[in-house]
Amino acid sequence: MGYVIRLTAPKQIEIREYAELPLDAHQVRIRTLYSGISAGTELTQYRGTSPHLHKRWDSERRLFVEGDGVPAHPITTWGYEEVGEIVELGNDVTRVKMGERVWGTWGHKSTHIAEEEWAAARVLDVSLDPHAGIFSHAGAIALNVVHDADIHVGEYVAIFGQGVMGLMVTQLARLNGGTIIAVDGISQRLALAQECGAEYTINFRDQDAAEAIKALTKNRGADVSIEITGAYSALQSAIRATAYNSKVIVAGFFQGAANDLFLGEEFHHNRIQIISSQISGSAPQLAHRWDRLRLNQTIMELQAQGKINLTRLISHTFAAHDAAEAFRLLDQNAGDVMQVVLDLQRTEVVEK
């Protein structure tokens, strides 16, 4: 028997058993080692604020429409930061071996069945700590943001938000040649941003971020700003901080009405471009070369090469049966909480 962590209602989590299915000839069974929790998308599901819980996404028209009566709960297909170990092979599998570790996206569950071809493209480099595998998808989101930002060597890049996603963007933007200005309201995160390559840090609780960024850039403003908090006030600040005729890359998952935006001010007068960055696609000029798998694989290669360090962002690890406590901790948004990881090898209580 396997088990899955389910969200049965907002802020209500249970663990439920499921029967293991037999493998086809070209399939493998992966035993999950670790599963990371997203402090963005998953928390909107946990809190009950995600639009997907109240409306239906029409994928053909790419529109949210009023729900069609399908119950939102229980949610079982959540979680996109997994790494595991191959524990069973189908009869005709030749491209992967027992014991190899595989990274990918399959949710908060103890096992996963995958096609051999899929697994072979996602084998974890033997030099890496297995925890590095949980960053394949979240890291790809961050890399996509940096691609959308189109950073040039020597440009000032203001990154609003230094949580897990922001710190990944900071490392990648620095690697891309940007001079990083990290903005956050939590001093511990700003200290970590400096360790990750930020040349300047601004605590928005102590000073006006836009004015500080203008001062750092001889009143020009950031060549590009990146908003990755999902807070409308941060987006407004990013708009104010950005240079004339320049752009703001928006990657945060916003919830509710935009009450803190004043689009008749700097946005209008400075001709600011606002560009959405979302992992369902790449920038039009890159899409023919950069698909999802390449983004994933690049993040794993950069980790193996030592060019970025993402495991340093892990702050808390919980046994699977303590998943409810893990989500509560993230929901409290404490300053010392960064990447929270579930150890799927450790569970004691399974509710049937």
* Residue type for position 334: A
pLDDT computed for residue 69 by the predictor: 53
Contact criterion met (CB below 8 Å) for 183 and 209 = yes
Domain 2-137+293-343 homologous superfamily, CATH: Medium-chain alcohol dehydrogenases, catalytic domain (3.90.180.10)
The stretch 245-270 carries a mean pLDDT of: 93
The stretch 29-52 carries a mean pLDDT of: 93
CB count within 10 Å of CB 254 equals 16
Asked if residue 51 has a cis previous peptide bond (ω within 30° of 0), the answer is no
pLDDT computed for residue 347 by the predictor: 67
The domain defined by 151-276 carries CATH number 3.30.43.10: no
b/e per residue 31-61 (b: at least 16 CB within 10 A): ebbbbbbbbbbbbbbbeeebeebeeeeeeee
Does the pLDDT at position 338 exceed 80? Answer: yes
The stretch 316-332 carries a mean pLDDT of: 95
CA atoms within 13 A on the CB side of 110: 18
CA atoms within 13 A on the CB side of 278: 10
Model confidence at 56, pLDDT cuts 50, 70, 90, reads: confident
Model confidence at 256, pLDDT cuts 50, 70, 90, reads: confident
Most confident of 46-60, 142-156, 252-266: 142-156
Among 145, 147, 140, 177, residue whose Cα is nearest residue 159: 145
Give the residue extent of every domain in the chain.
2-137+293-343, 151-276
Beta bridge partners of 111: 31
| Predicted structure pTM score | 0.94
Residue by residue, DSSP assigns 247-313 as EEEE-S---S--TT--TTSHHHHTT-EEEE--TT---TTTTTT--HHHHHHHHHHHHHTTS---GGG
pLDDT computed for residue 350 by the predictor: 43
Pairwise CA distance, residues 316 & 332, whole Å: 14
Does the pLDDT at position 352 exceed 60? Answer: no
Model confidence at 70, pLDDT cuts 50, 70, 90, reads: low
**350: Cβ–Cβ under 8 A, 6 or more apart, which residues?**
3, 15, 16, 17, 321
Beta bridge partners of 275: 249
CB count within 10 Å of CB 105 equals 18
CA angle 272, 274, 277 (to 5 degrees): 150
DSSP 3-state of 36: strand
Structure tokens at 181: 């200005």
**β-strand pairing of 101-104 with 82-89:** antiparallel
Pairwise CA distance, residues 110 & 310, whole Å: 23
Contact criterion met (CB below 8 Å) for 295 and 140 = yes
**176: Cβ–Cβ under 8 A, 6 or more apart, which residues?**
146, 151
CA atoms within 13 A on the CB side of 140: 24
C-alpha distances (whole Å) from 136 to each of 213, 303, 304 are: 32, 10, 12
DSSP 3-state of 336: coil
Contact criterion met (CB below 8 Å) for 158 and 225 = yes
Pairwise CA distance, residues 249 & 235, whole Å: 9
pLDDT tens-digit readout, 210-239: 999 999 999 999 999 999 999 999 999 999
Mean pLDDT taken over the chain: 94
Residue entry with tokens 């990750």: 196
pLDDT computed for residue 182 by the predictor: 98
pLDDT computed for residue 349 by the predictor: 45
**β-strand pairing of 63-66 with 55-58:** antiparallel
Q: Can you say how many angstroms the Cα of residue 154 is from the centroid of all Cα atoms in its chain?
A: 26
Model confidence at 334, pLDDT cuts 50, 70, 90, reads: confident
pLDDT computed for residue 53 by the predictor: 86
pLDDT computed for residue 66 by the predictor: 85
**β-strand pairing of 200-203 with 179-184:** parallel
Does the pLDDT at position 164 exceed 90? Answer: yes
pLDDT tens-digit readout, 130-141: 999 999 999 999
